[in-house]
């Protein structure tokens, strides 16, 4: 009986062809001499050289020692025979569109590759996906924290300890004291509501990511005696209350109140809304556009005494009157972008926007596979705005790769990117996971120009930039960009200008800017920043003239690279003429520092900020010229309340290349040191420095600084004499 997939052999010289019903042609050896000539045959040779299409939709579900992969089927002109799956050294050849690959290592990054293969052996282009296997089940508890110290006060105590270790990672610490329980990520804290002259025992436990809890470390201490009877003295009223309204929200900031014991909280009231905060800033949402309001703030202390109220009147902004583009998570990119026919893609709305456009986002989550890239511009009088449409909260998200904790550069991949000199955008009222990146055109060239001179120790060459070597904000505004175009050789160098980032909640990554100027970052909450990302707010490379106000920055994870990767607000690399005011930076673990200037950042005005529970509160680092630090408070510091170029302690004379120059520190306060070794002020190298009216009870001045203090025109409360290590508080002029 003949086979359905067979035919007579046909001779071609000494070869024979067998044509199957499937259309496949096979060449075999020579046949009998009686085979008919090829001209008598009706079949033809069919050679398959077309590869299958690339698999799409590759997805991974990692396990501890393996991964489940799925994908969408490829197509082929004849048919896909199987798929070739490769993960590490493991390969699989499934016929289905799924495969499990085992024998992998736990907690390891892998790249999966899937190709389609047809019967002729043609292979498709690969589909690839990177994933990380899960850690093994963790049953091992962290080690107990060590080195627990207590610094008692009359009604509270500062606690500090050395970090615990864990086989996977320590997640947080739980502190227990007198019925109080506090969970935090750092290694120091302050707890109040204690009675004077009383013996207490505090305990600290470490908790890992699996919930395993360490043994407790304990310390017993006695609070300081009271200076009198019960506390009936109310705090002073908060001062310098500032309101920054948007159309439906408000950012408030103020100067900290003072109290004979301690201020514990502030109560903010706007209309019918009431909010209690511990810092000196707050954000209120849900307001009506174009409406007059009054905001009031009161301070309360441990005993419940309440200060007089401080008030400020304001009017919310009217809704923009220009064109609007509406976007919805359930919209369509073929729609008109109207209120009733919204787009789906934020990127498409951004690309269509013209000066004066408001992009209104309906409530929901927008997950963007790529960064939302902004290249077009508004104008100073008609900025382009991205804001909620008003029907509920909006989250913008963008998946990013995990950075190494040893990374020492700003993490570039963020949810929103403004670059190539795009100007005048406002981003307000959103939740943004993985942050905002601002970069002027040729910012890397400008950075390289100044960094080369920094590395060469040539301060005079880099200070030749207009407005950089002397106080001249007008020159910085008009002449800096032409100068940088000349020295870099790039005539198209262009700053990003006029950006407003207001009243947002940023997680995962904060705000980074290079070669970007004259904008506002105000009223934002920035927290939950993993290691290897960088500061919550980081401006560098001639980023001039920004106002950074009323932001709350916290919870920036410990970096293994450098202190500057775990700071709250950082101004560096010749970023000048910025005003940083009314911000609260708090709860930074490890070597976390609150507000910092570094590498030629000059002529900045840092005032009326509050920093709590950090290693160093405020730090004027390398070659800061003319920075003014006034009316700032640091509450809870592990090393220094305020520091000025500590690394220059080894210099026998200050250097214009690296030391602090013409710095002013006036009316600042440092309270609640968290260890016995903590200093309110530390200075390594300085010239022409002015200190006046500061409440800094414990100083560290380098030995070299003391030898040249007077000769280099440094003064303390008007005197050229070296101040004592424990100077009296003289509030004259504050």
Q: What does the pLDDT look like over 305-358, one tens digit per residue?
A: 899 999 999 998 887 778 999 999 999 999 999 999 999 999 999 999 999 999
Per-residue confidence (pLDDT) for residue 247, from 0 to 100: 81
210 or 146, higher pLDDT: 146
Model confidence band, residue 136 (pLDDT cutoffs 50, 70, 90): confident
Q: What does the pLDDT look like over 625-640, one tens digit per residue?
A: 999 999 999 999 999 9
What does the angle CA 420 – CA 421 – CA 422 come to, to the nearest 5 degrees? 100
The structure tokens listed for 49 are 């050289």
Task: Specify which residues 533 forms β-bridges with.
Answer: none
Q: What is the mean pLDDT of residues 695-705?
A: 97
Q: Are 493 and 484 in contact (CB under 8 A)?
A: yes
CB atoms < 10 A from the CB of 402, how many? 12
The answer, yes or no, to whether residue 29 has pLDDT greater than 50, is no
297 or 156, higher pLDDT: 297
The structure tokens listed for 589 are 């673990």
Which one-letter DSSP state was computed for residue 155?
S
Q: What does the pLDDT look like over 572-607, one tens digit per residue?
A: 999 999 999 999 999 999 899 999 999 999 999 999
* Measured distance CA(402)–CA(644) in Å, rounded: 34
Average pLDDT, the chain: 90
Q: What is the mean pLDDT of residues 514-524?
A: 97
The answer, yes or no, to whether residue 705 has pLDDT greater than 60, is yes
The answer, yes or no, to whether residue 26 has pLDDT greater than 70, is no
23 or 112, higher pLDDT: 112
Per-residue confidence (pLDDT) for residue 229, from 0 to 100: 53
The answer, yes or no, to whether residue 18 has pLDDT greater than 50, is no
The answer, yes or no, to whether residue 364 has pLDDT greater than 50, is yes
Q: What does the pLDDT look like over 466-480, one tens digit per residue?
A: 999 999 999 999 999
The model's pTM is 0.71
Residues 6+ apart with CB under 8 A from 56: 71, 72, 127
The answer, yes or no, to whether residue 28 has pLDDT greater than 60, is no
Per-residue confidence (pLDDT) for residue 303, from 0 to 100: 76
Per-residue confidence (pLDDT) for residue 160, from 0 to 100: 87
The answer, yes or no, to whether residue 4 has pLDDT greater than 60, is no
Residues 6+ apart with CB under 8 A from 73: 55, 80, 97
Give the chain's domains with CATH numbers: 1-47 (no CATH), 56-132 (2.60.40.10), 146-222 (2.60.40.10), 239-315 (2.60.40.10), 419-716 (2.160.20)
The structure tokens listed for 332 are 């369509």
CA distances from 80 to 59, 98, 116 (A): 20, 14, 7
Per-residue confidence (pLDDT) for residue 25, from 0 to 100: 43
Q: Which of 97-106, 224-233, 311-320 has the lowest mean pLDDT?
A: 224-233
Assign 478 to helix, strand or coil: helix
33 or 121, higher pLDDT: 121
Per-residue confidence (pLDDT) for residue 230, from 0 to 100: 63
The answer, yes or no, to whether residue 42 has pLDDT greater than 70, is no
What does the angle CA 626 – CA 565 – CA 367 come to, to the nearest 5 degrees? 120
């Amino acid at each position: 009986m003949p086979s359905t997939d067979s035919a007579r052999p046909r001779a071609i010289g000494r070869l024979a062809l067998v044509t199957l019903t499937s259309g496949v042609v096979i060449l075999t050896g020579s046949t009998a001499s009686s085979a008919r000539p090829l001209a008598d045959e009706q079949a033809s040779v069919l050679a398959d050289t077309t590869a299958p299409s690339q698999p799409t939709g590759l997805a991974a579900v990692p396990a501890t020692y393996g991964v489940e992969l799925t994908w969408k089927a490829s197509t082929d002109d004849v048919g896909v025979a199987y798929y070739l799956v490769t993960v590490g050294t493991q390969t699989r050849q499934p016929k289905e569109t799924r495969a499990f690959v085992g024998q992998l290592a736990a907690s390891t990054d892998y790249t999966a590759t899937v190709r389609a293969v047809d019967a002729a052996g043609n292979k498709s282009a690969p589909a690839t996906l990177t994933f990380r296997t899960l850690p093994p089940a963790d049953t091992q508890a962290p080690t107990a924290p060590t080195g627990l110290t207590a610094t008692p006060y009359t009604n509270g105590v500062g606690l500090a300890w050395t970090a615990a270790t864990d086989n996977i990672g320590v997640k947080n610490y739980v502190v227990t004291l007198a019925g109080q329980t506090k969970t935090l990520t750092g290694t120091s804290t302050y707890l109040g509501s204690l009675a004077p002259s009383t013996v207490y025992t505090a305990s600290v436990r470490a908790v890992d990511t699996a919930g395993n809890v360490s043994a407790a470390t304990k310390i017993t201490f006695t609070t300081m005696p009271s200076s009198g009877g019960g506390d009936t003295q109310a705090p002073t009223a908060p001062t310098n209350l500032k309101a920054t309204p948007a159309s439906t929200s408000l950012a408030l900031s103020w100067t900290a109140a003072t109290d004979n014991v301690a201020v514990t909280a502030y109560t903010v009231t706007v209309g019918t809304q009431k909010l209690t905060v511990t810092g000196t800033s707050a954000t209120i949402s849900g307001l009506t556009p174009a409406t007059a309001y009054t905001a009031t703030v009161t301070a309360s202390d441990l005993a419940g005494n309440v200060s007089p109220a401080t008030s400020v009147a304001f009017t919310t902004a009217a809704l923009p009157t220009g064109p609007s583009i509406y976007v919805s998570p359930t919209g369509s990119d073929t729609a008109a972008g109207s209120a009733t026919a919204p787009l789906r893609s934020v990127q498409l709305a951004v690309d269509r926007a013209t000066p004066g456009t408001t992009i209104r986002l309906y409530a929901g989550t927008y997950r963007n596979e790529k960064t939302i890239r902004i290249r077009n511009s508004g104008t100073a009088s008609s900025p382009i705005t991205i804001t909620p449409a008003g029907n509920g909260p909006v989250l913008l998200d963008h998946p990013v790769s995990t950075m190494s904790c040893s990374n020492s550069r700003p993490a570039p991949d963020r949810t929103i990117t403004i670059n190539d000199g795009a100007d005048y955008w406002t981003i307000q009222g959103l939740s943004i996971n993985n942050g905002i990146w601002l970069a002027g055109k040729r910012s890397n060239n400008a950075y390289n120009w100044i960094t080369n001179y920094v590395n060469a120790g040539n301060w005079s060459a880099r200070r030749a930039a207009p407005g950089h070597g002397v106080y001249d904000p007008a020159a910085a505004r008009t002449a800096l960009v032409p100068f940088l175009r000349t020295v870099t050789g790039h005539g198209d160098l262009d700053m990003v200008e006029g950006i407003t980032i207001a009243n947002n909640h940023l997680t995962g990554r904060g705000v980074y800017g290079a070669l970007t100027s004259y904008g506002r970052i105000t009223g934002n909450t920035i927290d939950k920043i993993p290691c290897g990302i960088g500061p919550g707010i980081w401006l560098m490379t001639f980023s001039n003239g920004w106002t950074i106000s009323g932001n709350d920055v916290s919870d920036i994870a410990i970096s293994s690279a450098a202190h500057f990767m775990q700071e709250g607000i950082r101004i560096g690399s010749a970023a000048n003429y910025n005003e940083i005011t009314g911000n609260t930076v708090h709860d930074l673990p490890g070597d976390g520092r609150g507000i910092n200037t570094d590498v030629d950042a000059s002529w900045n005005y840092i005032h009326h900020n509050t920093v709590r529970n950090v290693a160093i509160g405020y730090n004027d680092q390398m070659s800061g010229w003319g920075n003014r630090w006034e009316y700032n408070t640091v509450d809870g510091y592990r090393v220094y309340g305020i520091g000025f170029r500590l690394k220059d302690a080894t210099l026998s004379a200050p250097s214009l290349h690296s030391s602090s120059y013409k710095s002013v520190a006036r009316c600042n306060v440092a309270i609640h040191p968290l260890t016995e070794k903590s200093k309110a002020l530390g200075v390594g190298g300085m010239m022409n420095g002015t200190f006046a009216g500061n409440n800094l009870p414990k100083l560290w001045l380098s030995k070299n600084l003391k030898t040249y203090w007077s000769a280099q025109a440094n003064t303390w409360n008007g005197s050229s004499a070296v101040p004592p290590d424990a100077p009296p508080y003289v509030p004259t002029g504050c």
